[in-house]
Amino acid sequence: MTEFHTDNALTSRTVFQTGNLPTTRRNEFGGSLGGPIIKNRTFFFGSLFFMRSSRVSTGVTTVETPQFASFVENAFPNNIATTFFRQDPPKVYPTQGILTVGQLEAQSPGFFPATAFPADLPAGGTTFVNNVIPRNGQQWHFRLDHNLHSDRDRIYLSSYNTTGTDAFDDPRPKNWLTTREVSWLPKLNWIHAISPSLLNEASVTYLRTTGAFSNNLPNLPTAYVTGISTLGTWGGLPWAENDFNWHDTLSWMHGSHNIRVGADVDHQTDFDKFADNDKRPYFVFANLLDFAQDKPYYQSGPTVDTTTGGTAYDYLMQRIFESDAPPNSQPGVPLRLLRAPRLSEE
């Protein structure tokens, strides 16, 4: 059994982390167990470990003031900017470095007139944001060994699984990206002693990894506003990878030489789905005032299928086949021959 612990009281601060910080902890705990099932023939081993942790991220950011957001909601109730201010507000509104509309326009001129805004209206400013970011995981491993035919054969089966979750923080809570990744690795291995000097080892392995990023605002585009933290976010990207491997090695002991001849065959598939991002546009605004009026100077997306006029969805599908035949002789200079044809499809 094992346990590892640390927390915010045991962690040094950055130059931006002043005053009272949120409580953070990191605990890693678990254990392992193994032993014989049938004396001198069958054995087992298992382990299970967990991690429960959180960390503090401190940043200085520039966001809109609540007065500006309220003005836009009243003056432009049907604008996309109003929807952003309602659904994607900052965690903390600015407390220093406040710029009025007139000062903002002089500092970061836009491409469109801003006569609809009072010149003395507080528009944006800077603030410190402390976020507690969770990061959790768990893993388990099980292995079963069995000896037979007077120990001339040994077969073992193992399975390894990991699950991890993480997050990427943002000054706007709805912009947080969370990700979850799961991996599973089973393996079957057979070692056969043909003679005292000749040994063959063969194995089959499968690795599957899946994951996805979250998206808390799937119906809103991504908006980059010069001088203001990004509104909206990307995400919702699932992926899956499947890898198959067959390995076989024949070892021959002859005097002072160890000669090995073997082969590896790999089949890998990778699938990524980018559809959620393809159907959402990305806008760039010269300043906060242009954004409030829904007047971008640049747009990218959604991706259009020119044959139908609808949204074009992007998927990535790859298949890779590899083979490897490495002979090796010792002592002397190692000899390795690689033969790896590859096929990729997208």
Phi, psi of 154, rounded to the nearest 5 degrees? -135, 130
CB-based contact 189:153 (threshold 8 Å): no
Q: CB 9: neighbour CB atoms within 10 A?
A: 9
pLDDT for 343: 37
What are the mean pLDDT values of the chain's consecutive 10-residue runs (346 residues total)?
A: 81 65 82 93 95 86 93 92 90 91 90 91 90 91 93 94 91 87 95 92 94 82 84 75 91 86 85 72 90 91 70 58 51 41 37
Q: What is the DSSP letter of 311?
A: B
Q: What is the DSSP letter of 333?
A: S
Strand partners, 44: 35, 144
Distance CA 115, CA 105 (A): 11
pLDDT for 68: 94
